[in-house]
Structures are given as C-alpha cells and as structure tokens.
C-alpha cells in the first residue's frame, strides 16, 4: 500500500515539474516582459512585420495608434503603419 502511495506521489511531482519546465520554454519565446535580472537594453524584441529579433536598445521605437511598437528598421515601421491604417474603417 505504501509503495502505491509513494509511486503516485512521485508521478504527481514529476508531472508538475514537467509542466513547469514546459511553461518556461513556451513563455520564453517572444516574451517581451522583463524578467528578474534583465536590463531593458539586453532584451530582444520581435519585429511584428518581418519577425526578426533585435536588441531593444537598437530597435526603432514608434508609437502608432496610442501603442508603442518596436521595429528592426524604419522600412518595417512604415510598412506596419500603412498596413494598420488601411485596416481601420473610415
């Protein structure tokens, strides 16, 4: 009886550890929030147009429609702004 309880407890513990590890892997890709120990300059930002990752300190920062976006180049920023304004109803 004790063996069954011990095996069940170990399986539950393994499940939660595996789930936590998978969350960290999944949340680490493309996450733009600062984690403990990160400085804003060392953070990587994904361009919404070409999907390239650039360091936040080197990214082109542009406010469009009241929201701040980061781009790898001015060309991507212009393309995104045109695309966004063409989708808005007049």
What confidence tier does 76 reach under pLDDT thresholds 50, 70, 90?
very high
Based on the fold, state whether residues 56 and 66 are members of the same structural domain.
Answer: yes
| Alpha carbons 81 and 74: distance in angstroms, whole number | 11
Q: Who's near 71: CB < 8 A, 6+ residues apart? A: 47, 48, 49, 59, 60, 62, 77, 80
Report pLDDT for 38. Answer: 55
Based on the fold, state whether residues 81 and 64 are members of the same structural domain.
Answer: yes
Report pLDDT for 30. Answer: 43
Indicate the SS3 state at residue 80: helix
pTM for this model (two decimals): 0.51
Based on the fold, state whether residues 16 and 47 are members of the same structural domain.
Answer: no
Half-sphere exposure of 85 (CA within 13 A, CB side): 8
**Total domain count, the chain:** 2
Based on the fold, state whether residues 27 and 43 are members of the same structural domain.
Answer: no
Q: 33 φ, ψ to 5°?
A: -80, 150
Domain range for residue 43?
Answer: 33-90
């Amino acid at each position: 009886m004790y063996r069954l309880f011990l095996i069940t407890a170990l399986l539950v513990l393994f499940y939660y550890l595996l789930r936590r590890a998978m969350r960290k892997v999944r949340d680490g890709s493309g996450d733009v929030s600062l984690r403990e120990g990160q400085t804003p300059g060392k953070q990587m930002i994904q361009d919404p147009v070409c999907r390239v990752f650039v360091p936040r300190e080197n990214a082109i920062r542009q406010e469009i429609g009241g929201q701040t976006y980061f781009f790898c180049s001015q060309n991507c920023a212009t393309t995104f702004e045109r695309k966004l304004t063409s989708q808005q109803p007049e």
